Amino acid sequence: MIVAVHPTALGPAAGGLRLWHYPDWRDGLTDALRLSTAMTAKFAVAGLPSGGGKAVVVLPEGTVPEPDRRRAVLDDVADTIESLGGAYATGPDVGTGSDDMAVIGRITPHVFCRPAHLGGSGDSSPHTARRSPRCAPSAGGCTAPSGWTDAGWPWPVWVGSARASPGCSPPRAPP
């Protein structure tokens, strides 16, 4: 398990927990460092007083942990986060979701996106899915064409459990 805390100058670090397969644990380390840096940029763009962070649990290729084992792993993650005393808070990411945050939240308060019925902010994936089509042109190095809307995407976008509405008309090519 790797927890990467980028800067905390503006506030405690936050970023999701990635539970994913890597050929080697060092690949997970590289991912955690890369993604924590990206979280810093995301918070800066949003004007939020947080630093970037990321947690990665490296699963061996081709393995799927049994429920008991998965639960034990989440407990270990929670213990580690709790030991950091609030310097880092986690949330969902690839391989984890709100229910996993509920498990972590039994051990540490430094977790977000727990299910709404437990008092958390709920699943972040619908919001992410809805906005992803808008971000895609920027990520590709071009700007969105004028008239681009959240619905202006010709194929469904999945993030976690959520699906963004497929577009009613295909986006035009960027100028």
Smaller CB distance to ligand NAD: residue 61 or 146?
61
Least Å from the CB of residue 124 to ligand VAL = 5
Q: Is 128 in the site for ligand NAD (CB under 6 A)?
A: yes
* Distance from C-alpha of 55 to C-alpha of 135, rounded to nearest angstrom: 24
Quote the tokens at residue 28: 């997970």
Q: Is 15 in the site for ligand VAL (CB under 6 A)?
A: yes
* Distance from C-alpha of 82 to C-alpha of 133, rounded to nearest angstrom: 35
Annotated active-site residue in 6, 18, 54, 70: 54
Site residues for ligand VAL, 119-138, by CB under 6 A, read 124
38, 93 in Cβ contact below 8 A?
no
37, 31 in Cβ contact below 8 A?
no
Q: Which of 93, 110, 129, 153 binds ligand VAL (CB under 6 A)?
A: 93
42 is catalytic: no
106, 29 in Cβ contact below 8 A?
no
The footprint of ligand NAD (CB under 6 A) covers 16, 92-95, 124-125, 128, 159-160
